[in-house]
């Protein structure tokens, strides 16, 4: 399923979006058609939406609160090395060489919302390349020491399609966040 084919925000991202205050800066990594960029812009955030797909980014041109950047995140240095965001959102994307830099892009007290595929997904189709599949507990290990984990899940899901995923909501050490109410 192509990024641009997804229109509804991830339920995981929606669940924890209230941790990100209106007026916050948000980086939507590999944003595709911008389902999460739109979600946070509608909540009054200033969103930097980055992707390598110019056609997908074109869907976001003129949307209030969203700035787009065309960049191949795997072809060069991390383009946000000097910037910090109040939230970084990643869905259905994994590129380990920039993972530490991505974590550094979360400001102290900022929120990391991450959801992507893990080992075992190959039985459902793509992605099946181990380079794009997290090992069990890998997201937890990546944030250990620098973030407070609010929620973590891993395992098989059936929505929006059968897959093996890991999901993480974490706050970079430096400030407290109040948990959103349960739905």
- pLDDT bracket for residue 92 (50, 70, 90): very high
CB 116 within 8 A of CB 141: no
Whole-model pTM: value is 0.91
H or E element at residue 163? strand 163-172
pLDDT digits (tens, 9 = 90+) for 125-156: 899 999 999 999 999 999 999 999 999 999 99
Average pLDDT in the chain: 92
- pLDDT bracket for residue 15 (50, 70, 90): very high
Tracing tokens 């900022």 back to the chain, one arrives at 110
The verdict on domain 9-172 having CATH code 3.40.50.1370 is: no
CA distance 171 to 159: 26
- pLDDT bracket for residue 181 (50, 70, 90): confident
CB 163 within 8 A of CB 156: yes
CA distance 145 to 67: 32
Q: In the chain, what are the domain boundaries?
A: 9-172
pLDDT of residue 3: 41
pLDDT of residue 6: 56
């Amino acid at each position: 399923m192509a990024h641009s084919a997804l229109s509804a925000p991830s339920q995981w991202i929606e669940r924890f979006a209230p941790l990100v205050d209106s007026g916050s800066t948000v980086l939507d990594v590999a944003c595709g058609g911008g389902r999460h960029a739109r979600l946070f812009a509608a909540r009054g955030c200033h969103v930097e939406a980055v992707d390598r797909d110019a056609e997908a980014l074109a869907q976001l041109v003129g949307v209030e609160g969203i700035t787009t950047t065309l960049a191949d995140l795997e072809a060069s240095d991390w383009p946000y090395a000097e910037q910090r965001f109040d939230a970084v959102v990643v869905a259905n994307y994994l590129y380990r060489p920039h993972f530490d830099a991505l974590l550094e892009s979360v400001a102290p007290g900022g929120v990391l919302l991450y959801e992507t595929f893990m080992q075992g997904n190959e039985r459902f189709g793509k992605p099946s390349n181990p380079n794009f599949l997290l090992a069990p507990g890998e997201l937890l290990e990546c944030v250990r020491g620098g973030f407070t984990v609010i929620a973590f899940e891993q395992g098989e899901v059936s929505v929006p399609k059968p897959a093996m995923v890991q999901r993480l909501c974490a706050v970079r050490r430096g400030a407290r966040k109040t948990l959103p109410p349960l739905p």
